Amino acid sequence: MEIKTNSPSQTQKVAEKLAKSLKKGDVVALFGDLGAGKTIFVKGLARGLGIKKRILSPSFVFVRSYPIDLKNRKLTFHHIDLYRGKDFKDFESLGLNEIFSNDSIVALEWADRIKDYLPEKRIDVTIKAIDDKIRKITIKRS
């Protein structure tokens, strides 16, 4: 699926709609250049999952986790930002195997940094800045 948005709020709405289809164990792998709108997209996912807290980019801590209630089941939404690392060795201590579990939903910014270690079953979201406002968002389930 390919969508063009004209504002950050439209980008968030696309993510909110995607969030409504997420289920336990889903991993949303985000790809795109710096400033493309990955964190904006994650904020929309969080809103769509019912998270009321302000979503901050975990660039310096790598992971921020939020409790969610999905269809009367307690899960955790993990927002991971791998911008500050270079490869999988930089992220081994994060416990990604435990994070990628059926007890969570994961949004992973800079997923290309660990592309070879991503779960096969995931949702790839590529965000490309066309200009200052327009974004092309490609969503592909694998």
- Is the separation of the CB atoms in 105 and 68 below 8 Å? yes
pLDDT score for 93: 64
Task: Name which residue leads in pLDDT, 127 or 92.
Answer: 127
Share of the chain above pLDDT 70, in %: 90
For the chain, list the domains and their CATH numbers.
Answer: 2-91+98-141 (3.40.50.300)
pLDDT score for 114: 85
Share of the chain above pLDDT 90, in %: 63
Residue-wise pLDDT tens digits, 95-111 = 677 788 888 999 999 99
Average pLDDT over residues 32-39: 94
Q: Quote the pTM value.
A: 0.90
Residue-wise pLDDT tens digits, 37-67 = 999 999 999 999 999 988 877 666 688 899 9
Residue-wise pLDDT tens digits, 122-131 = 999 999 999 9
